[in-house]
Amino acid sequence: QKEVEQNSGPLSVPEGAIASLNCTYSDRGSQSFFWYRQYSGKSPELIMFIYSNGDKEDGRFTAQLNKASQYVSLLIRDSQPSDSATYLCAVREYGFNKFYFGSGTKLNVKP
């Protein structure tokens, strides 16, 4: 069973702070890694994906991948109350057309 683990939270940060979300995965064959944001009652929306070790930045978001340690993280700089949501980590195994999701981390950004 391929597992993707996330701390369920809630993670509370003050407005303007950096929020750090972490995800670990069990399958070393995992190739691609995704972060989705899901607001309550809505479907997930893609924030970004990463497949190479290191950092990938997109606006206020930075994804960090460490394949040796089997973790991927998402940093949100200058957190805003509108960032309050559940963040889902997903991985895709090389050669397979299937995504494995973590259970999500709930983020609360307090004004």
Phi-psi region of 55 (alpha: psi -120 to 50; beta: other; left: phi over 0): beta
Q: In the beta sheet, which residues pair with residue 66?
A: 71
Q: How far is the CB of 96 from another protein (least distance, A)?
A: 10
**Between residues 78 and 89, which has the closer beta carbon with respect to another protein?**
89
Distance in angstroms (rounded) separating the CA atoms of residues 39 and 95: 31
**95 lies in the binding site for another protein (CB under 8 A):** no
**74 lies in the binding site for another protein (CB under 8 A):** no
Q: How far is the CB of 59 from another protein (least distance, A)?
A: 17
**Between residues 25 and 104, which has the closer beta carbon with respect to another protein?**
104
Question: According to CB under 8 A, which residues from 27 to 66 bind another protein?
Answer: 32, 34, 36, 42-46, 49, 51
**102 lies in the binding site for another protein (CB under 8 A):** yes
Stretch that binds another protein, among 12-20, 58-66, 74-82, 101-109 (CB under 8 A): 101-109
**19 lies in the binding site for another protein (CB under 8 A):** no
